Amino acid sequence: MSEEGPAGWGEPLYAAVLGLAGVGAGTRLLDLGCGPGLFAAAAAARGAHVTGMDADPGAVAAARAAVPDGRFAVGDVHDPPPGPFDVAAAVQLLSHVANPVAVLRAAARVAPQVAVTVWGQEHECDVRAFGEALAPWLPSRRTPAGPPPVTDPARLAKLVGLAGLEVAERAEVVCPFDYADADAVVAPLLAAGIGRMAAARVGQAAVREAVLDRLAPHRTSAGGYRLANLFRIVLVRRTAG
């Protein structure tokens, strides 16, 4: 998927996924929902032969530029290329697809192991501070109908089981989101949906003040900000028999 935070935030996550899956020289890796190719580039740097797919043509073009030796195509992750591959990766993907179970099943048909990552739960991620800061000017949050999100470990485990797979290994990694200064942390928020909504009600200056006040505990000695966020990794395989 595309970047979900400041530049470089995903590097610890990518390294953990590649290490857990044993990706190295010659590994045939399928990157589902490859986005602009950041994870693919990390895999290629280890000598993997990378194939990627994404529904966004712009992201696929960026991935081709990032990994010139890789093979990338626009396509539906529910219907991956036949491979075969040694590893299929769904990095920050499952919360964005229509049918996570179908994606897992399809990935397992073309690779013996599938690496999946998801955000930690809200209380495990410091980025919740943005929503907390803007809460007075946003609509009241309601518990959505239906099953829990894939960030719920029990829900993720259930999806794996429904796909006819089993968890072989689990890991957790904390990724720091580092911002150089106040402008670096506030500007992306003002460009995002919740920031625009809050600013439309009280103005950008009030939003900036509220956000920086809430983020004060996360300010670094250099004047920047560091938000620590947990991510979960599961390595899944087809069940025996």
pLDDT for 237 = 96
Q: Is 38 helix (H, G, I), strand (E, B) or coil?
A: helix
Is residue 232 a contact partner of residue 153, using CB atoms and an 8 Å limit?
Answer: yes
Report the DSSP pairing between strands 225-238 and 165-179: antiparallel
The secondary structure of residue 141, as a DSSP letter, is P
- What is the distance between the alpha carbons of residues 74 and 31, in angstroms, rounded to a whole number? 12
Dihedral of the CA atoms 92, 93, 99, 101 (nearest 10)? -60
Rounded to the nearest angstrom, the gap between the alpha carbon of residue 21 and the centroid of all alpha carbons in its chain is 17
pLDDT for 241 = 57
CATH topology of domain 11-122+147-177+225-238: Rossmann fold (3.40.50)
Total-model pTM: 0.94
pLDDT for 1 = 40
- The structure tokens 């179908």 sit at 102
pLDDT for 3 = 56
pLDDT for 8 = 96
Q: Where are the domains of the chain?
A: 11-122+147-177+225-238
> How would you write the pLDDT of the chain (241 residues) with one tens digit per residue?
445 789 999 999 999 999 999 999 999 999 999 999 999 999 999 999 999 999 999 999 999 999 999 999 999 999 999 989 999 999 999 999 999 999 999 999 999 999 999 999 999 999 999 999 999 999 988 877 788 999 999 999 999 999 999 999 999 999 999 999 999 999 999 999 999 999 999 999 999 999 999 999 999 999 999 999 999 999 999 886 5
